[in-house]
Amino acid sequence: MSRRPLVAGNWKMFKTRGESLAFADGLRRGLGSSGSVEIAICPPFTAIDVVASALAGSGVGVFGQNAHADENGAHTGEISMAMLVDAGATGVLLGHSERRADDNETDQALARKVPAALAAGLTPVLCVGESEFERDAGTTKAVLDRQVLEGLSAVPVADLSKVVVAYEPIWAIGTGKSATPAIAQEAHGWIREQLRELCGDTAEQIRILYGGSVKPENAAELLSQPDIDGALVGGASLDPDSLLAIAAAAAS
Ligand code: PGA
């Protein structure tokens, strides 16, 4: 089963609209025509429309970094899946560890958000990953099993192939200390196994991205692992050439 790699750049809380436009122009200039790798940018909400317009027709996706499960309502500071679509987004990150830690994002909330994203026509990227403490305690597999099973618990089996999972060990995010390819592959293998329990052979179609200090220098080795189907890139996605280098590694 060949899965088209996805390289997504998570900008977190970086870039104004002007800076986002400059990035989009740079990315467009450097884009090849092969299309064997899907690229997506996850700008802050305020820049989604700017990036989506600047990249229209390029094949590059624009994803939100979060959204609420409800269609609308009294949720000050939140935005809905439909609002993301309205701004030009085609996907959404859900359950990033920074949101789990800083904003009390729970597996229960994610169980509602993933189907809500699908219903709105967005590609959900469910982020999972263990802390250093959990890894040292030997509970990594249990943590990943719980996050995957609960996060996907309300997704109809027929829709699971549209979901993307991102494995991001918390200890590797923003630390410069990426997981080794062997450690990452082991975790991706566990996640694939869990997905097989949920949907049998459809699990072979589900893309599992690795995230955590991915950069041009380590991308090729990580992405050559059999169950690593792309990358969720933070710091190294803020520069178009660096993101393109990672996408090139995913293509090779
Ligand atoms: P990083 O971030 O590449 O800067 O480690 C990854 C992420 O948080 O998605």
- In angstroms, the CA 195 to CA 217 distance is 30
Whose Cα sits closest to atom 2 in ligand 1?
234
Residue 60 DSSP code: -
**Residue 137 φ/ψ, nearest 5 degrees:** -85, 0
Beta-strand relationship, 38-42 and 61-64: parallel
The string of DSSP codes covering 174-217 is TSS-PPPHHHHHHHHHHHHHHHHHHHGGGGGGSEEEEESS--HH
Place of tokens 């829709």: 159
pLDDT at 183: 98
207 C-alpha vs ligand 1 centroid, how far in Å? 18
Catalytic entry in 38, 98, 134, 168: 168
**Residue 42 φ/ψ, nearest 5 degrees:** -115, 85
Q: Which of 217, 226, 213 is nearest to 245 (CA)?
A: 217
Question: 68 catalytic, yes or no?
Answer: no
- In angstroms, the CA 214 to CA 200 distance is 30
130 C-alpha vs ligand 1 centroid, how far in Å? 14
Catalytic entry in 68, 96, 150, 188: 96
Which domains does the chain possess? 6-251 (3.20.20.70)
Q: Is 127 in the pocket of ligand 1 (CB under 6 A)?
A: no
Per DSSP (E only), the strands in the chain are 6-10, 38-42, 61-64, 91-94, 123-128, 164-167, 207-211, 230-233
Q: What letter represents residue 55's amino acid?
A: L
Whose Cα sits closest to atom 7 in ligand 1?
234
- The 3-state DSSP class for residue 229 equals coil
pLDDT at 32: 81
pLDDT at 70: 98
Residue 15 DSSP code: -
Region label for 126, one of left (φ > 0), alpha (ψ between -120 and 50) or beta (otherwise):
beta
Q: What is the pLDDT along the chain (252 residues), one digit of tens a residue?
A: 589 999 999 999 999 999 999 999 999 999 987 789 999 999 999 999 999 999 999 999 999 999 999 999 999 999 999 999 999 999 999 999 999 999 999 999 999 999 999 999 999 999 999 999 999 999 999 999 999 999 999 999 999 999 999 999 999 999 999 999 999 999 999 999 999 999 999 999 999 999 999 999 999 999 999 999 999 999 999 999 999 999 999 998
Residue 31 DSSP code: -
Q: C-alpha distances in angstroms, 215 versus 5, 85, 135, 219, 227?
A: 16, 29, 23, 6, 19
pLDDT at 2: 84
Can you say whether the dihedral through the CA atoms of 154, 156, 160, 162 is positive or negative?
Answer: negative
pLDDT at 35: 82
Strand partners, 124: 92
pLDDT at 1: 57
Contact partners, residue 193, CB within 8 Å, separation at least 6: none
